[in-house]
A and B are shown apart, each in its own frame.
Chain A
Amino acid sequence: MDWTRILTNVAGEFFAPTTAAYALAAIGLNIHFGLTGLLNMGQAGFMLLGAYGFAIATIAGWPLWAAVLIAIAAATIFALILGIPTLKLRGDYLAIVTIAAAEIVRLVGRSTALTELTGASSGLRGNQYKDTFQDASPFDDGNWALGPFEYAVNASNSWWIRIVGWVVVGLACWLVWLLIRSPWGRVLKGIREDEDAVRSLGKNVYSYKMQALVLGGVIGSLAGILYVLPRAVQPDSMGRSMTFFIWTILLLGGAATVFGPVLGSIIFWAVLALVKLTLRDVVPTTFLRSEQIEQFGWIIVGVALMLLIIFRPQGILGDKKELAINAH
């Protein structure tokens, strides 16, 4: 068994673009759930919408900044549409509506009726929309190695996407850090605890919940862009499971904490890579086919999510006393 290769690959997951994208999506979800107590079960829908918005705008010839704005606008409108009917209702309605809405985005996106626009179920190829992003790189093309990690500087799965991705993650963490300590964050925390109490103190709970839903959704849409830049926009890969992975990441790192989502994402992807790579090396393919190893990894994720929420709902970084879950 080649431990060096396995460990190198696992270490590569620490700062892979996917890890950054999931961390960012979990930061968005943290604003929904950790800060405000909103049960958003459709974060993948925000991501997919952001990805479509960015890719389609870019393919239509829009510049990078405009395409990003389109993604943000799409997420904002989506959040408003979801929030208007549900934010006045009990929390589990939001869960059902968000998961349904994310599914609607996916079903509509993969429909053959929209093949021209979205590429239906085969999606949009990365080469169609990643030029503007790569051209924005200040670096020269080529490959660059940092120790054992060698990636292209600008193209596709590149250093450039890693740098941008983690800078965005850093900015989002800073934003959450600022907000958590502000009176705005205090109102959200109060809403998470008991929204009637906050309402009785003269705060417009509906408006605050909407702000949180939009903000977290916009961060989710940026995560969606980040997620599809090194690959393709594939609606079926951004379905319900993706939302559940984001939840696992958030609960693993610790909801309502600043760095929980980032830590959660790093551990999630690194452990998953470790398990899969090790199994691939250790278990003969006659016994476990490669897709079974893949599935085995997801079984572990499901079981881990169950154990985590039962035995350590505050996650790694969370404080049990300030537990975000189940406040009322």
Chain B
Amino acid sequence: MPTEPTPAAVDARAAVAAALKDVPHVPGAPKPDPVLIADDVRRMFGGVNAVDVDHVEVQRGAITALIGPNGAGKTTFFNLLTGFDKPNSGKWTFDGRSLGGVAAARVARAGMVRTFQLTKALNRMTVMENMRLGATAQPGENLFAALVPAVWRPREKAISAQAEELLARFKLDTKRDDFAGSLSGGQRKLLEMARALMAKPQMIMLDEPMAGVNPALTQSLLGHIQALRDDGMTVLFVEHDMHMVRHISDWVIVMTEGRIVAEGPPDSVMNNPAVIDAYLGAHHDTDLGDDALLDDAVLEQLRTEEEAR
């Protein structure tokens, strides 16, 4: 399990960087090989435009970070793209298929699987049951087929093997028969990610994967995310923690007040005046890219504000 950058990881990162080399650093910039293209996506809450995105593209096989101050509409945008919320207007395509207004379950089946900011591990099910639930094409999930074990047992075996493999990779194999509720916050994040991978998605959407994870696990989580890219998966993630963004992402999209205000590779975005304004406008006391952002108290404050909305 590569927590340290391996040659493959370096290669993948370099390849993505090369592909994105000529992309202009402007909001809504076209990408050479976009897997997700969204146009005119809007969502109003009580007269306020929570999301107002004119155009955005996400590069296939890259790790793209979606950052922005609290209330910028990142999670709402996530919810819209994944079918958990309905936009007032807008359309988007995923891998060439139109997914605007499509129900969450069908979005997931199309190959775009998400995780949640507040981890949704199924606490009263075991780790293994959680994993099996993530699998697709299990005929036993049909009511009538469920009554005939012979129909679904073979697939169940294959699913279990796949689950064991993923659990080993995420170092959860010793916990396989524990209730998910007994895991630590970080382990639950890992479980949620592993469970999402059971469906073998093309693109994985992570909503604040570091939130509530203890620092010891953070490094390993980062490694896992990079490994996903190295396996050829597209990753889009929402994050507050600028430090993390800088370390692992290939491309950064900045949202504020529902709009995309900047795009570009991490280093260029960090120095963009619009981005600094956006952050300073929201938090005078926090410095962009400053490690103070890693401070637990600040993170906690950010999270409470997010939840209180």
Chain A interface (Cβ < 8 Å from any Cβ of B): 175, 178-179, 181-187, 189-190, 193-194, 196-206, 211, 215, 321-323, 327
B113–A327 touching, CB < 8 Å: no
A186–B84 touching, CB < 8 Å: no
Which of chain B's residues has its CB closest to A201's CB?
Answer: B134
Which of chain B's residues has its CB closest to A205's CB?
Answer: B105
A183–B116 touching, CB < 8 Å: no
B104 contacts which chain A residues (CB < 8 A)? Answer: 196, 199-200
A190 contacts which chain B residues (CB < 8 A)? Answer: 122, 125, 133
Q: A179-B146, A200-B113 are in contact. Are A186 and B108 (CB under 8 A)?
A: no
Q: A182-B147, A321-B179 are in contact. Are A203 and B141 (CB under 8 A)?
A: yes
B84–A183 touching, CB < 8 Å: no
B124 CB-CB contact with A under 8 Å: yes
CB-contact partner of A202 in B105, B116, B152, under 8 A: B105
A211 contacts which chain B residues (CB < 8 A)? Answer: 143
Chain B interface (Cβ < 8 Å from any Cβ of A): 82, 84, 103-106, 108-109, 113-116, 120-125, 129, 132-134, 136, 138, 140-143, 145-147, 149, 152, 156, 179, 192, 195-196, 198-199
Which of chain A's residues has its CB closest to B132's CB?
Answer: A186
A327–B108 touching, CB < 8 Å: no
B108–A199 touching, CB < 8 Å: yes
B136–A197 touching, CB < 8 Å: no
Which of chain A's residues has its CB closest to B182's CB?
Answer: A321
A193 contacts which chain B residues (CB < 8 A)? Answer: 122-125
Most-contacted residue by chain B among A197, A321, A322 (CB, 10 A): A197
Interface residues of A: mostly helix, strand, loop or mixed? helix
B136–A202 touching, CB < 8 Å: yes
CB-contact partner of B143 in A184, A189, A322, under 8 A: A184
Which of chain B's residues has its CB closest to A181's CB?
Answer: B149
A198 to B149, CA, bound (A): 22
B143–A215 touching, CB < 8 Å: yes
A182–B149 touching, CB < 8 Å: yes
A184 to B141, CA, bound (A): 4
CB-contact partner of A183 in B82, B138, B199, under 8 A: B138
A181 to B149, CA, bound (A): 9
CB-contact partner of A200 in B82, B125, B141, B147, under 8 A: B82
A321–B109 touching, CB < 8 Å: no
A181 contacts which chain B residues (CB < 8 A)? Answer: 149
B179 contacts which chain A residues (CB < 8 A)? Answer: 321
Which of chain A's residues has its CB closest to B107's CB?
Answer: A202
Give A283 Cβ to nearest chain B Cβ, in Å: 45
A175 contacts which chain B residues (CB < 8 A)? Answer: 147
